Chains A and B, each alone.
Chain A
Amino acid sequence: MRFDSLLDSVGRTPLIGLPRLSPAADVRLWAKLEDRNPTGSVKDRAALAMIEAAERDGRLTSGCTILEPTSGNTGIALAMAARLKGYALICVMPENTSPERSQLLRMWGADIRYSAAAGGSNEAVRVAKALAAEHPEWVMLYQYGNPANAEAHYRGTGPELLADLPTITHFVAGLGTTGTLMGAGRYLREQVPGVQIVAAEPRYGELVYGLRNLDEGFVPELYDASVLTSRYSVGPRDAVRRMRELLEVEGIFAGISTGAILHAALGMAAKAVRAGERADIAFIVCDGGWKYLSTGAYEGTLDAAEDALDGQLWA
């Protein structure tokens, strides 16, 4: 496959069958390898779409500075695109993220402002909004409320899935900004009667939920619950166990959030088997495991991995 530039190669990722993890001949699992994007994660789609939308609107012009709250992958994707397109990038990132994320952001030239660990991404969003108010000349793309984020999946991920798997019955993805599920979920619901749209939401350690009061809670502006058919909370133990299983059984080296998504996908598969129904369950591999090697999630006991991830933003 030939492309005119790296940015032109975003998307059109492979969909890989998982013959060993699939529980039956007619209940099959399919992994969409979003780690094959240019910076190694699903976020390349949203980052590029948000930048291009802002360019079309005239909000983003040559020499502009982009500001974004991110726990990592969106920032890394924006940093690559910003460098190629001649923008500066400031990322507000929670301090409880893996060191590889900071290293990658700096490599692509981003400036990092750390937000406090307590409150996780909520706090990064709050800090970024305050910075945006102080610096109206900076352009905050704001992945949590930017329609171009979901649109990238409505136009890209969704149609790609249906083209590769016309018999799709379930789509399972992670719930962060909600962009992947809202965009691809809406597209699939329009095209496939009865399709199940399933969210796997990471359940972090207590530090991340350390808000001062419940009114500081956060629901992304993009989120529309009517797109989903179910939503599961998956803790680090199940996420790490499934991430290791994916590596051991099918050879796919994925990040920790993908383990959480696979956990929900396998739950759907087991349900289909019990109900005696056929199923083609596609799920998102958000990124590879490279950025998480230092967390200790890939070796040692599950207890040790769970302890190491406590308080970390692992998804």
Chain B
Amino acid sequence: MTVEVRIPTILRPYTQGEKTVTGAGDSLGALLADLDSRHAGLRERLVEGDQLRRFVNVYLNDEDVRFLDGLATAVADGDAVTILPAVAGG
């Protein structure tokens, strides 16, 4: 099972400069733990306690996971996860 994860510029030091990495896991939390095993320190930048950090947005197939099940959101083969810092509009 493979899930593609898009990494923002600011976090690429953790992925050896890669824009996209792949990982496995049946939930978003498990996926981030799997990524952290190869990209040490990445998870800590995204997660605090059992929640996503305030200025981090994570989207599963373009939907904000905070409106799904957060870190418990189920992920499946072929899904795409996008990580972005929170920015202003207006």
Docked-complex contact A122 and B89, CB < 8 angstroms: no
Residue count of chain A within 8 Å CB distance of chain B: 45
Smallest Cβ distance from B62 to chain A, in angstroms?
5
B interface: dominant SS: mixed
With contact pairs A217-B55, A219-B54, A233-B64 given, residues A175 and B84 touching in the complex (Cβ less than 8 Å): no
Q: How many A-B residue pairs have CB under 8 A?
A: 100
Considering only residues 209-235 of chain A, those with a C-beta below 8 Å from chain B are: 209-220, 225, 228-234
Docked-complex contact B10 and A218, CB < 8 angstroms: no
Q: What are the residues of chain A within 8 A of B39 when measuring CB–CB?
A: none
Q: How far is the CA of A174 from the CA of B90 in the complex (A)?
A: 9
Interface size band for B: 20 to 34
Docked-complex contact A214 and B10, CB < 8 angstroms: yes
Selected A-B contacts with CB under 8 Å, 20 pairs? A70-B90, A73-B90, A121-B89, A121-B90, A124-B88, A144-B90, A174-B89, A175-B89, A176-B89, A199-B64, A209-B84, A209-B87, A214-B11, A214-B53, A218-B88, A229-B67, A230-B64, A232-B62, A232-B64, A234-B62
Give the A-binding residues of B (Cβ under 8 A): 8-11, 45, 53-57, 59, 62-64, 66-67, 82, 84-90
The 6 A-B residue pairs with the shortest CB-CB distance in the complex, in nearest-first order:
A217-B55, A176-B89, A121-B88, A176-B90, A231-B64, A177-B90
